[in-house]
Amino acid sequence: MPVDLSDESQYDRARLRQWARGRARSAGVDRRDLLRLFAAGAAAAGPLGAAVAAPARAAGATPATPTALATPTTPATPAAPAAPGIVKPLPPELFTLRGTNAETNFAALRGTGHLTPLDRFFVRNHTVTPRLDAADWRLSVWGDALSGGPVEFSYDRLRSLPAVERTLFIECAGNGRSFYTTQQGQTVTGTAWTLGAIGVARWRGARLSDVLRRAGVTRRAVDVLPRGRDDEVVTNGVNLGRVRRPLPVSKALDDVILAYEMNGEPLPADHGGPVRVVVPDWIGISSIKWVGDIEVSAEPLYTPWNTDLYRLFGPDQPPQGSAPLTRQTLKSAFELQSGATVPVHRTRLLTGRSWSGAAPVHRVEVSTDGGTHWQRARFHDVPRRGSWVRWSVPWTPRTTGPTALLARATDATGRTQPDTAAHNTQGYLFDAVVRHPVTVV
């Protein structure tokens, strides 16, 4: 059967087979290193699962960041360094710092609109935010699947191409990871996100397909590899090079955007300014920030970001890793601090958001008694593919004491959030209903 390379699962499975047989080229990392890393990733511990890596330039100076959720009872909040290399202000009421990353506090979204305001959009950096000037920015498109040599695009040339605008979420594949530990008692590695590694923005930019066509993409093209201009990533003594993850040419020519605006503003530095890739529906790592060059290859490509990282490993997975991470999964979050206290006998509006990478959200149910009774939430947005829906339910607590709030979404494919997420060592794709503790006083 022909492989549909626009389906990430089929794509990655096909690539893995090709790579294992030595037919895919390892883009920029020594094949022996990649094999070593791959073997390590396949072993249950998966050292590369530690999603926070030291920046290449600061490798000697940066103390190792503890990211593994070693014991099920450990609260998933590793110490945050004072300067995580993020440019925008990170006030504690808006963000929780996690290594080089900043997680949006969901409570800080209450009362904001459908789009995540730029001052509270999460940041996921493998190293540090580089400061790039739009006037000097150049995109080089090159590779053996072009009809000629490399083609350069300046910022102005990119902006002169027909513009598209779309409202889309970007969500880290590890969003919700800490609940594998705190809710399911399982050990996972990686940044201990709660539910705030997601944001929704209105992106404006050029179509990647327009850029590739102007660069002379030919029918020989198989993979398209955008690469960031941020520092090289060094992990476990191996320099993985710059952040990059191949896209199959079918996806690259379909709906991918080279975005230069976010919510009507020039793209901020922390979110990839002046230009980033935005890949609708795909896990966040696909949306390469600070894009500097794009290789268009006639051969399948492999990088650490589609071998050891962003695949599923664990006892329930094949030894070579999963059927890969495809689209984001289904989740729901309350716009309320975890552990909040709420007054008894007073009616309040519980608000939250739900989203799915597969389809628009169809229904959200909320329980205020730990999952015994459920009521349907009212929607405040028309559910759309690629974005979240805001919802609310009124609640008048009748008894004092601790309880758990639960929100459970069902999307238009009929999939409902399960009680338990399927464990994998790197803690990706958590989709279970989260128990949100509150105390009625």
Closest distance of CB 384 from ligand MTE, Å: 20
d(CA 262, CA 265): 5
Contacting ligand MTE (CB under 6 A), which of 13, 15, 120, 124? 124
Question: Rounded to 5 degrees, what are φ and ψ at 76?
Answer: -85, 55
- Read off the DSSP letter of residue 42: H
Q: Kindly give the pairing relationship between strand 291-297 and strand 138-142.
A: parallel
331 sits near ligand MTE (criterion: CB under 6 A): no
Residue nearest to ligand MTE (CB): 228
411 sits near ligand MTE (criterion: CB under 6 A): no
Q: Kindly give the pairing relationship between strand 257-262 and strand 265-266.
A: antiparallel
207 sits near ligand MTE (criterion: CB under 6 A): no
In sequence order, the 6+-apart residues with CB closer than 8 A to the CB of 337 are: 105, 107
Give the Cβ contact number of residue 73 at 10 Å.
8
284 sits near ligand MTE (criterion: CB under 6 A): yes
Tokens of 4: 């549909």
Burial class (CB in 10 A: 0-12, 13-18, 19+), 40: middle
Contacting ligand MTE (CB under 6 A), which of 230, 255, 365, 411? 230
Contacting ligand MTE (CB under 6 A), which of 122, 169, 180, 428? 122
Please report, to the nearest 10 degrees, the dihedral formed by the alpha carbons of residues 352, 358, 363, 364 taken in order: -30
Closest distance of CB 276 from ligand MTE, Å: 7
Binding mask 25-54 for ligand MTE (x = CB under 6 A): ------------------------------
Closest distance of CB 102 from ligand MTE, Å: 8
- For residue 240, give the H/E element and its range: strand 238-241
Which of the stretches 76-84, 286-294, 343-351, 411-419 binds ligand MTE when contact is defined by CB under 6 A? 286-294
293 sits near ligand MTE (criterion: CB under 6 A): no
Q: Which residues lie across from 277 on neighbouring strands?
A: 258
Give the Cβ contact number of residue 20 at 10 Å.
12
288 sits near ligand MTE (criterion: CB under 6 A): yes
Question: Among residue numbers 336 through 355, which ones bind ligand MTE (CB under 6 A)?
Answer: none
Q: Which residues lie across from 238 on neighbouring strands?
A: 235
Question: Among residue numbers 145 through 184, which ones bind ligand MTE (CB under 6 A)?
Answer: 170, 172
Tokens of 236: 């476990």
Closest distance of CB 89 from ligand MTE, Å: 15
Binding mask 64-93 for ligand MTE (x = CB under 6 A): ------------------------------
289 sits near ligand MTE (criterion: CB under 6 A): yes
d(CA 354, CA 10): 27
Q: Kindly give the pairing relationship between strand 301-302 and strand 25-26.
A: parallel
Contacting ligand MTE (CB under 6 A), which of 13, 120, 126, 331? 126
**Nearer of residues 46 and 284 to ligand MTE, judged by Cβ:** 284
Binding site for ligand MTE (CB under 6 A): 121-126, 170, 172, 199, 228, 230, 243, 271-272, 284-285, 287-290
